[in-house]
A and B are shown apart, each in its own frame.
Chain A
Amino acid sequence: MRILIILAALAPLCAARATADDDPLRRGWVWRPSVFVFGSIDEIGDGAPEPMHELLEASPAMSLAASLDASREGRRGRLQTSTLGLIRSPFARGARNYFFAGRLHAVSELGADWRLTLDDSVRFQRRDAPSITDFQRNEIVAGLEWRPPHGMSFGLRLSDRRRALPHLAELGFERQGAVLAAGLGLGRRFGAELSLQWQRYSAITTAGRRVVLSAELARYGSRGAIALRGAWFEPGQDGNSATPTSGPPVLGPSLPPDPRVTARHEGSGTAVDLLPGSWEALALQGSATRDAADLASGTDIDLAGDPFLFDPLESDSDEWDFGRRKQVIVAFFSRRFGDAWRCAAIVRYQHKNGPNLLLTNGGARPWFKDDRVALRASLQRHIHRHINLYAQGCHLISWADRPELDFSRTLVAVGVQLRY
């Protein structure tokens, strides 16, 4: 709450310095504060697992948010930062949901051919009542890129991602990665990138390594862009070493303290009710708030917007997939119509297959398959120098050979952004 108040107070203070035009290369510091109000409807399909229904938030709901973007253009680099604070259901005591996100992107040009980048993305979520959906995570990525004038480029990126869930420690993890990427210029405003990533991870119930191979294409113009990406996650030693044994599976060492979840756990006598499907479903609860935050961020170019709130390949909600083979395809499209309208859409399909490494029962890690399609679309209308209207819809369908993962979810929101 304090963060939101501070941001809201900063907004008018910064208004005098903020600029109305959208010049991405304005010299010196540029401050862009915004305030958001929006309403949302959240619908879960009939097939959704029970824990998900139990933990659903009110729908329809109202949210308030404030953001502050700051950027600085230097002679040999730039710095862009964004922060966003959001309260969902602010007037419903006991059901309030707090969300904070921050992002930093720094670029330093080292001569004509070399570029150094540093990215950091942080998220923090809490509810009034103790909840298993509380989480915080941070990811930092440092990259070095060589771009000789012949058009190709080569890059090395090192990353560190850490996630913690105070009431569900099993879903927390640490992950480090090294990416080697080669960029190809395939023609005018048409690029491609091939990358190979090596990751090592550790969590309470597992630790290991995996490799990610991905290819990306992007085409852009002065009115919009399209991009396509495919990625293959190949688990290393731990994912394939699991050998099924007899006996009921049990959870990792930490039990979720959330009373509702604990009650279910105790009632069943085993942890079977909280098999990974349910866990994932529970984890999805977090994505509801994130999606709402996406809406708050809008798609305005002033904001860091969705990138730090919605991560198509590595979304927070289901990224605990260690030891499983995964294939992901993401398609993105954006288009501007005149000066006032802008739309963007992203579709993501993923298929996962592999053992459930969340369970620790002497190696009893049953394999399962699941598929997921997520579609998100946004429409923005610029109606005044300081006002934007926007609408956003998200639809998620999940199906699997476990009933807990057969569900669909729809979120629609409409809101207004006041920018200074």
Chain B
Amino acid sequence: MRWPALLAVVLACAHGADAASMTLDDLEQAVHEAVRERNALAQERRSRGDEAAALADEISRIKRRESAPRADRELERGLRAFDRLVGALDDLDRRLKAQERTIDHAWKRFEKQADREMARLSEQKGGGASLAARVDSIETAIRRVRQDVARERRVRPALDIVLDPNDGPAEIRVKLALLQAEQRRFADLIVTLDQEIKVVETRLLIKRQLAREVKAASEDAGAGLSLLQRESDDLLQAVKEMERRREALLQDRAHLPRVLLKLDDLVESLLERESVLTTITPEEP
């Protein structure tokens, strides 16, 4: 038992020494690099998701006509094809999760170093303009990092645009343009979420089947083969996580039609107002 403890101490020391030797700029670059990698993974995940969505569409079409003869076999074929994609999606999800950890870790190290430098600068007497410039540059770096690290929310709320009684035709046209862009964004979002939900549901179907099979195998194999039991636990947990993801997506999706309806109403009222204003505008002499 001494060796693992010793190894942990050595690793902790090495880690501490490594962090201490890096400058704030290095640490900031590390955060940006980690974010870039995450974004690249997310992009790959999106394109794989699109591929999976097309296949999930096909599977749900087969499921709808389940009573038809040979539907089961077609469904199985479809699920097998989807299964191959699931492996890639699972792997990307795992790598994204790991990358998020890397970002958090790099971010914490950066903030710790920034705090340390700020504390050091605050203890310095004199320095005048150069000191102020250094403080300013650290604060700017902190803002940059926070902005870069901030995760984009899946459903960004609609812009809060209201019709002001003093709005003239020009203001209304600008607001209309913004609202129509929001309408397009939300319509696209509904399509995207529907696709994502379909993909998640198909993945759930496959994972459930897999979890059932591995659970049965682990029970047949007995306690002597512990790996199957562990895999079974992992799969059941993965199904649970996937269920949570589906719940979150459904929740996000649920309120979108209301938002879209509200936007439609607002656009309509702005159009009405615009037409009224255009009608009553006195003609030029």
A105 to B212, CA, bound (A): 16
User: By DSSP majority rule, is chain B's interface helix, strand, loop, or mixed?
Assistant: helix
* B228 within 8 A of partner (CB): yes
CA distance A307 to B211 in the complex (A): 17
Residue of B nearest to A75 (CB): B240
Does A218 contact B236, Cβ atoms closer than 8 Å?
no
Residue of B nearest to A192 (CB): B227
A301-B223 in contact given A183-B230, A222-B83, A224-B217 (Cβ < 8 Å):
no
Of the stretches A115-123, A259-267, A278-286, A402-410, the one at the interface is: A115-123
Inter-chain contact B220/A305, CB cutoff 8 Å:
yes
Check: A217 CB closer than 8 A to any chain B CB. Answer: yes
User: What residue of chain A has the Cβ atom nearest to residue B91's Cβ?
Assistant: A188
A193 touches B98 (CB 8 A): no
Interface positions, chain A 298-327, Cβ under 8 Å from B, are 299-301, 303-308, 310-314
For the complex, give the distance between the alpha carbons of A117 and B87 in Å: 27
Bound together, the chains give a CA A148 to CA B100 distance in angstroms of 12
- Contact of A375 with B by CB under 8 A: no
User: In chain A, what residue has the closest Cβ to B204?
Assistant: A25
Smallest beta-carbon distance A301→chain B, Å = 4
A311 vs B222: C-alpha distance in the bound complex, in angstroms?
A: 5
Given A149-B101, A218-B228, A330-B225: A346 and B220 interface contact (C-beta under 8 Å) = yes
Q: With a CB–CB cut-off of 8 A, which chain B residues contact A221?
A: 210, 213
CB of A305 within 8 A of CB of B219, answer: yes
Query: A223 CA to B221 CA in the complex, in Å?
Result: 15
Taking CB atoms, residues of chain B closer than 8 Å to A217 are 227
Bound CA span A2–B175, Å = 79
Question: Are A342 and B216 neighbours in the complex by a CB distance under 8 Å?
Answer: yes
If A115-B233, A307-B222 touch, does A191 touch B227 (CB 8 Å cutoff)? yes
Shortest beta-carbon distance from A142 to chain B in Å: 14
B86 closest partner in A (C-beta): A188
Distance from B80 Cβ to chain A, minimum over Cβ atoms (Å): 8
CB pair B221 A25 closer than 8 Å: no
Which residues from A are CB-within-8-Å of B83? 222
Q: Any chain A CB within 8 A of the CB of B208?
A: yes
Tell me, rounded to whole Å, the shortest Cβ–Cβ distance linking B18 to chain A: 19
Instruction: Write out the residue numbers on chain B whose beta carbons fall within 8 Å of the beta carbon of A303.
Output: 219
B101 contacts across to A, CB distance below 8 A: 149
**Nearest-CB residue, chain A, relative to B210:** A222
Instruction: Render A212-242 as a binary contact track against B, CB cut-off 8 A, 1 for contact.
Output: 0000111011111101010000000000000
**What is the bound-complex CA distance between A305 and B223, given in angstroms?**
11
Partner of A109 from the list B213, B215, B224, B237 (CB cut-off 8 Å) is: B237
Query: Does B117 interact with chain A (Cβ within 8 Å)?
Result: no
Shortest Cβ distance from residue B2 to the other chain A in the assembled complex, whole angstroms: 13
Interface residue from A23, A216, A312 paired with B222 (Cβ < 8 Å): A312
Contact of B233 among A117, A121, A188 (CB under 8 A): A117
CA distance A220 to B231 in the complex (A): 9
Neighbour of B223 across the interface among A121, A188, A224, A332, CB < 8 A: A121
Complex Cα distance, B231 from A34, in Å, reads 26
Is there contact, CB below 8 Å, between A216 and B227?
A: yes
Q: Is A385 an interface residue (CB 8 A)?
A: no
The complex places the Cα of A189 from the Cα of B97 at a distance, in Å, of 19
Out of B91, B209, B217, B224, name the residue touching A334 (CB < 8 Å): B217
**Given the complex of chains A and B, what is the CA–CA distance between A378 and B222 in angstroms?**
14
Indicate whether A222 sits within 8 Å of B220 (C-beta atoms), given known contacts A24-B236, A229-B225, A336-B213.
no
Does B270 belong to the interface (CB within 8 Å)?
no
On chain B, the residues within 8 Å of A378 by CB distance are 220
**Nearest B residue to A339, CB-CB:** B72
Residues of A1-46 whose CB lies within 8 A of B? 22-25
Whole-angstrom distance between the Cβ of B227 and the nearest chain A Cβ? 4
Q: Which residues of A contact B220 (CB under 8 A)?
A: 299, 305-307, 332, 334, 344, 346, 378
B135 at interface by CB-CB < 8 Å: no
For the complex formed, measure the closest distance between the CB of A353 and the CB atoms of chain B, giving whole angstroms.
21
Q: Give residues of chain A (113-156) contacting chain B, Cβ–Cβ below 8 Å.
A: 115, 117, 119, 121, 145, 147-151, 153
Q: Is B23 an interface residue (CB 8 A)?
A: no
Would you call A352 an interface residue if the criterion is a C-beta within 8 Å of the partner chain's C-beta atoms?
Answer: no
Given the complex of chains A and B, what is the CA–CA distance between A310 and B224 in angstroms? 9
The CA-CA distance from A107 to B231 in the complex, in Å, is 13
For A378, the closest partner residue in chain B by CB is B220
Q: Mark B5-26, 1 if CB is under 8 A from A, else 0.
A: 0000000000000000000000
Partner of B219, one of A73, A222, A306: A306
Q: A149-B97, A220-B213, A301-B215 are in contact. Are A25 and B240 (CB under 8 A)?
A: yes
Q: How many angstroms from the CA of A126 to the CA of B176 in the assembled complex?
A: 84
Among B94, B208, B228, contact of A220 (Cβ-Cβ < 8 Å)? B228
B239 and chain A: residue at smallest CB distance:
A25
The CB with the most chain B CB atoms within 10 A, among A188, A224, A308, is that of: A188
Known: A23-B208, A220-B228, A346-B221. A151 touches B216 (CB 8 A): no
Interface core residue of B83, B211, B218 (most chain A CB under 10 Å):
B218
17 A-B residue pairings within 8 Å (CB atoms):
A24-B211, A24-B212, A73-B240, A115-B233, A151-B94, A220-B214, A222-B83, A227-B217, A304-B219, A305-B219, A307-B219, A311-B222, A312-B225, A314-B223, A334-B213, A334-B220, A344-B221
The 9 closest A-B pairs by CB, nearest first: A313-B224, A225-B217, A301-B216, A149-B98, A312-B224, A344-B220, A218-B227, A305-B219, A188-B87
